[in-house]
Amino acid sequence: MAVDAFVLVLVMLAVGKLAARLARFPAGAAETLNLFVLYVCLPASVLRYASKLELGFEVVGIALVPWAILGASIAAVSLAARLFAMDDGRRAVLLLCVPLGNTSFLGYPLTRALLGDAAVPSAVIYDQFGSFLVLATWGLWVLARYGGGERPTIRGIARRLVRFPPLLALLVALTVMPAEPPALVAGALARVSDALLPVAGFAVGLTLELRLPRDEFAALAVGLLLKLLLLPVLALGLVIALQLPAVQADAVVLESAMPPMITAGALAISARLAPRLAAALVGYGTIISLASVPLWAWLLG
How is residue 145 annotated by DSSP? H
Cα separation values, 271 from 142, 203, 280, Å: 11, 22, 16
For the cut 80, the answer to whether the pLDDT of residue 4 exceeds it is no
**pTM for the complete prediction?**
0.83
Question: CA 170 to CA 52: how far, in whole Å?
Answer: 11
For the cut 60, the answer to whether the pLDDT of residue 1 exceeds it is no
54 in helix, strand or coil? coil
Between 207 and 220, name the one with better pLDDT: 220
Sign of CA dihedral 245, 251, 252, 254: positive
Would you list the DSSP string of 193-240?
Answer: HHTHHHHHHHHHHHH------GGGHHHHHHHHHIIIIIHHHHHHHHHH
Question: Do 283 and 263 form a contact (C-beta atoms < 8 A)?
Answer: no
- The four Cα atoms 246, 71, 130, 145 give a dihedral, to 10 degrees, of -160
pLDDT-derived band at 149 (thresholds 50, 70, 90) equals: low
Cβ-in-10-Å burial (0-12, 13-18, 19+) of 294 comes to middle
Between 169 and 214, name the one with better pLDDT: 169
| CA-wise closest residue to 199 among 85, 109, 266, 77 | 109
Residue 121: other Cβ atoms inside 10 A: 24
Question: CA 171 to CA 165: how far, in whole Å?
Answer: 10
The residues pairing with 101 across neighbouring beta strands, listed in sequence order, are 260
Cα separation values, 261 from 103, 188, 227, 266, Å: 7, 28, 11, 9
Between 270 and 119, name the one with better pLDDT: 119
| CA-wise closest residue to 299 among 76, 115, 87 | 115
101 in helix, strand or coil? strand
pLDDT-derived band at 186 (thresholds 50, 70, 90) equals: confident
Highest mean pLDDT of the ranges 5-9, 21-25, 135-139, 229-233? 229-233
Question: Do 211 and 274 form a contact (C-beta atoms < 8 A)?
Answer: no
For the stretch 240-289, pLDDT in tens is 999 999 999 999 999 999 999 888 887 788 788 888 888 889 888 888 98
Cα separation values, 250 from 45, 46, 49, 102, 108, Å: 19, 19, 16, 17, 13
113-127, 161-175, 274-288: least confidently modelled range: 161-175
Cα separation values, 6 from 30, 107, 234, 254, 281, Å: 21, 12, 25, 14, 22
φ, ψ at 101 (rounded to 5°): -105, 165
pLDDT of residue 126: 93
